Amino acid sequence: MMRLHSLLLYLYPSSFRAEYGAELAHVFQKRRQLASNAVEVLYLWVREFVDVLFNAARVHWDILRQDLRYTRRTLVRAPGFTLTAILITGLGIGANTATFSITDHVLVRPLPFPEPDRLVQLWQRTPAYPQVEISSPNFDDWKKSSTSFELMSAYSSDAVTYAGNGQPQRLEGTSVTSEFFGILRVQPALGRVFSEDDMGEEAARTVILSHAFWQSAFGGNSDILGKQIRFNDDQYTVIGVMPPDFFFPARPGQFWRPLIIPAPARLIRDNYYLYAIARLKAGVSLEKARAEMNLITEQLERQYPRENAKLRATVEPLQENLIPRQTRSLLWTLFGASLCVLLIACTNLANLLLAKAMGRSKELTVRAAIGAGRERLVRQLLTESMSLSVAGGVAGIVIAVVALPLLAQLVPQRLPLADVTVLDQRVLGFALLVTLGTGLAFGVLPALRMCGRADHDGLRERSRSGVGGRRERLRSILVVAEVAASVVLLVSSGLLIRALWRVQAIDPGFRPDSVLSIQTWLPTPRYQSGVNRDRFYQEVLSKVRALPGVANAGMISFAPMTGGGGIWPVTVPGQTGTPQTGAIRFVSPGYFDTIGTRLTRGRDISDSDIVDSSQVAVVSESFAQRYWPNQDPIGQTFNFAFDNYPFAQLDRTVVGVVGDVRFRGLERRSEPQIYLAYRQLEDGPTYYAPKDLVVRSSIDPAQLVASVRAVIQQADPEMPISAVRTLRDIVDLQTAPRSMQLRLVVAFATLSLLLAGLGIHGLLSFAVGQRKPEFGLRIALGAQPRDIISVVLREAVLLTGIGIVTGLIVSRYVGRWMESLLAGVSASDPASLGVTIVVALAMTLSGSLLPALRATRADPTAVIRGE
Amino acid sequence: MTFSQSDIDELLPLPPATFHILIAVADESRHGYAIIQDIAARTNGELQMSAGTLYRSIQRMQEQGLIVESRRRPDPEDDDERRRYYDITPFGTAVARAEARRLSELVRLARARGIAPERP
């Protein structure tokens, strides 16, 4: 019975228990003796339990208040230390909170749809490309034959001209099949989503608006349902408005309309342009769905051996599919780097506190001797470190809020995610955890260490233990850890810098400087006519070329690195095998000269290449090399392997060869390119009609924008204009996330280097202080300053050396893990490693210089007097 | 030990538990259980102070210098070595007096307004 009671007393702090435990037990025993029956005993226990619970909490609280008062006094007494400590923790916690909030937002948090783990994205897969858009008949067959999915929906990116009240506007959106919203299980904010009735070619045209577009174009007016709005030249009835946080499939989407595929197009099996999502049936695993899709695609290959040769399906979880691999690596690397900084910050603070505690060891030992006890000391030191880390945590949250917009630039704008908000519960919870962890991490070591000392040799303060002594070992290990962590960050920064340089040095295949790019949108049906298009092109091109400061101008279907489709299968008469693909673009004369792509053979597209003349093409060098290696490509012919598409099947003659352009992006493999004559595009859909105007200027392209706009407006006042930027901007956008990440990692590395330098400085200063008598004696015995300096530096260099080696070993693993970000730079890139070693040594030297000089000033006479 | 009026004022008003403990040890050294019993007897059993409250108060009162642990022990046959005895300090006496004055002043005020019974 009494044992149970003494266990209960463990709720009190041990100092209180030591003082009053026996008496508390005594009182309880007396009362127990007075209790005469079971009910009274039970009542006594309940009372005792409540009493201990309440009073133990009060005693703990009293101690905490005392410790906090004491902490406040000590921290205020050393404002330099306090501010440094708060700043260091603030930076560490801030960096982590900010990177966490963005990593969590983009990578960890499930998609904002019910049961998101059942959502998948479907692609076609060829031996060369793991993810290719899907053709309409293949999608229909997949949908019909598969049983793994509850629903499957196709969608394709869409754009319309919306006239509204003022200037015609180009709107981006998505055409979707009726299952689209059901798969995602989202409800509209207003109205309804599509049903099967909205889907037919003859059905009334309906549209659903995004919340943002509804707000901006209609002022959020709820009368919008049932209203007619004009898209291109057609009237659409608004049937719904989506909620403000719905962005699928891409952030800029402003509308959704039914995906209507005309009957003839439903038969073309090798025109790939649809995307597809599906929801797995409950209980069906991803593997099972993949296996089923494999069977279905094998069956389709047997049925359509030519169009579906080696064509399979890729089934990926939607979440993984939405976030590009590079964005993933980018964010995880950054998160790792910020953890590294926090680790260094903790180590550094542990070291600072340890040094401070050693300075106070006399006081602490006295406190222990007068009965403060080990536990009270630990509590006191932990209160101190926790107070610092909580203050640091508050500073950290402020830093995170400020830093977040910067970090947000790492996330591609098109991801279907809401904006990152820093101060939500998850992020605050994380910041709190990190703060507490930090306080514990840098408080507990010094506390335990000091208690050990207090018990053993506290009062022998003057006992001379050298730097190699036991108590220094812990601090040395901490310094080694700091150096190692900053080496890892330095190597990573080095590798990322090299990778960025390498990517920036990639030849895009054109000269992007001084080229302005403007998107026009050729609204249908007017521009379905070749004659109308031609009139527009002639007027715009001739007038723009005549503007002062303009060197040349041209038009193309899609400017390089701005996306677009047009990946067509190619067949060459006389050559057998599976057709390979090329990227087609229609261009005007002067396009190559304008963007600075070399014409290496033959001639440019010309104005005399018209629909009725022989079909011509200018191809890229890799295209010529692929089909006619070691032959003159000029005069060779090829066509596109589309069935049921007479235009594609026309034979085309190669009239010129140009350099390859990385149209998919600097770091992506691009298919060989085929440029067709803009006047040879038949009447009909304008998807491939040149709409991107490029202008090379001899003056700042920004000065041209107004006059080029005016020319376009003059040619067609209803022509929407968008995406006005320079080709340089477009190319820089390719490396923007990289540069941003690099800047952050470099900032982290600099910070950690600084902290490690401080750590070495602190350790050596303390050690030199301790060894002053020894140095004094050495000087008295005739040692030169040089000898003293070398003694101190040897220590520093040894620690740094161990740190560097450890860091380099860890860096190898980190480097391999970052491989996808390194653009082919080796993880053991000698330049990065070399620079890191030099920088780390330089940091050591600068950190140890002052303590070393101080050691040479040890006064021999003072030392002898002191002894 | 010297103390000033402001040292005393700083502690007023006293928590009831503290005042009761001071009264209990005002005339003789008592150990914890005896304090509890004394308080119960003086309040006709109305106030049964718990051990936790008692020792938490004792700890604080020792820190404040109101009581000290007594060096005198009872005769060995009456003594229990686990017991600790507490004495009031001169400062404790002064504080208890000040608190008593404060309380009677309050009662006088209440009486003047007729909301407390007249002296029996």
Per-residue model confidence as pLDDT tens digits over A338-383: 888 888 888 877 777 777 766 666 666 676 666 556 677 778 888 8
Smallest CA-to-CA distance from A333 within A778, A744, A686 is with: A744
Question: How far does the CA of residue B114 sit from the closest CA of chain A (Å)?
Answer: 38
Give the DSSP per-residue string, A533-593: HHHHHHHHHHHHHHSTTEEEEEEESS-TTS----EEEEE-TT--SSPEEEEEEEE-TTHHH
Q: Considering only residues A164 and A304, tell me which one the structure prediction assigns the higher pLDDT.
A: A304
Q: What is the length of chain B? A: 120
Tens-place pLDDT, residues A714-753: 998 888 888 788 999 888 888 877 887 788 788 888 888 8
Q: How far apart are CA B27 and CA B29, in angstroms?
A: 7
Question: How far does the CA of residue B31 sit from the closest CA of chain A (Å)?
Answer: 9
Token pair of A513 as six digits: 């400087």
CB-CB neighbors (< 8 A) of B36 in chain A: 27
Q: Judge: A16–B32 Cβ closer than 8 Å, yes or no.
A: no
Q: Judge: A27–B54 Cβ closer than 8 Å, yes or no.
A: yes
Q: Judge: B82–A22 Cβ closer than 8 Å, yes or no.
A: yes
Smallest CA-to-CA distance from A556 within A529, A524, A519 is with: A519
Q: How many helices (H) and strands (E) does chain B have?
A: 5, 3
Q: What's the whole-number mean pLDDT along residues A437-451?
A: 73
Q: How far apart are CA A652 and CA A637, in angstroms?
A: 5
| Range name among A345-349, A477-481, A612-616, B43-47 with the lowest pLDDT average | A345-349
Question: How far does the CA of residue A40 sit from the closest CA of chain B (Å)?
Answer: 15
Name the phi and psi angles at A596, rounded to 5. Answer: 85, 35
The predicted structure's pLDDT at residue A466? 40
Reported ipTM: 0.86
B55 touches chain A (CB under 8 A): yes
Q: Is the confidence at residue A680, as pLDDT, over 70?
A: yes
Q: Considering only residues B84 and A140, tell me which one the structure prediction assigns the higher pLDDT.
A: A140
Q: Which secondary structure element, helix H or strand E, spans residue A525, and what is its range?
A: none
Across the A:B interface, residue pairs with CB atoms under 8 Å apart total: 53
Q: What is the pLDDT along chain B (120 residues), one digit of tens a residue?
A: 678 899 999 999 999 999 999 999 998 899 888 999 999 999 998 988 999 999 999 999 998 999 999 887 767 776 677 678 999 999 999 999 999 999 999 999 999 988 888 765
CB-CB neighbors (< 8 A) of A59 in chain B: 56, 59
Smallest CA-to-CA distance from A331 within A408, A258, A394 is with: A408
Question: What spatial distance separates the first Cα and last Cα of chain A, rounded to whole Å?
Answer: 59
Q: Which residue type does A815 have? A: G
Beta carbons of A374 and A361 less than 8 angstroms apart:
no
Angle in degrees, 0-180, between the axes of helices A705-715 and A530-546, rounded to the nearest 10:
150
Enter the pTM of the model: 0.71
Token pair of A309 as six digits: 């040769």
Tens-place pLDDT, residues A529-548: 889 999 999 999 999 999 99
Token pair of A646 as six digits: 């007479």
Q: How far apart are CA B14 and CA B62, in angstroms?
A: 14
Q: Which of A23, A28, A55 sits opposite B84 (nearest CB)?
A: A23
Local structure of A857: helix, strand or coil: coil
The predicted structure's pLDDT at residue A296? 95
B82 touches chain A (CB under 8 A): yes
Q: What's the whole-number mean pLDDT along residues A679-689?
A: 86
Q: How far apart are CA A255 and CA A173, in angstroms?
A: 5
The predicted structure's pLDDT at residue A863? 64
Write the CA distances from A554 to A81, A517, A588, integer angstroms.
64, 10, 6
Q: Considering only residues A352 and A214, tell me which one the structure prediction assigns the higher pLDDT.
A: A214
Local structure of A319: helix, strand or coil: helix
| Range name among A45-54, A216-225, A266-275 with the lowest pLDDT average | A266-275
Question: How far does the CA of residue A395 sit from the closest CA of chain B (Å)?
Answer: 36
Q: How far apart are CA A220 and CA A215, in angstroms?
A: 4
Q: How far apart are CA A583 and CA A585, in angstroms?
A: 7
Q: Is the confidence at residue A194, as pLDDT, over 70?
A: yes
Within 8 A by CB and 6+ apart from A639, the residues are A570, A571, A573, A648, A649, A650, A651, A652
CA-nearest residue of chain A to B85? A23
Q: Is the confidence at residue A267, as pLDDT, over 60?
A: yes
Q: What's the whole-number mean pLDDT along residues A677-705?
A: 90
A451 — pLDDT class (breaks 50, 70, 90): low
Q: What's the whole-number mean pLDDT along residues A117-124?
A: 93
Q: What is the length of chain A? A: 867
Local structure of A491: helix, strand or coil: helix
Smallest CA-to-CA distance from A446 within A362, A369, A347, A371 is with: A347
Token pair of A694 as six digits: 């490029």
Give the DSSP per-residue string, A228-248: EEEETTEEEEEEEE--TT---
Q: Which residue type does A835 have? A: V
Q: What's the whole-number mean pLDDT along residues A580-594?
A: 92
Q: Where are the beta strands (DSSP E) in A728-815?
A: none
Smallest CA-to-CA distance from A834 within A568, A542, A495 is with: A495
Q: How far apart are CA B18 and CA B24, in angstroms?
A: 10
Smallest CA-to-CA distance from A610 within A533, A686, A546 is with: A533
Beta carbons of A731 and A724 less than 8 angstroms apart:
no
A10 touches chain B (CB under 8 A): no
What are A429's strand-pairing partners?
Answer: none
Smallest CA-to-CA distance from A163 within A101, A233, A267, A96 is with: A233
Q: Which of A16, A27, A58 sits opposite B33 (nearest CB)?
A: A27
Q: Which secondary structure element, helix H or strand E, spans residue A93, and what is its range?
A: helix A79-103
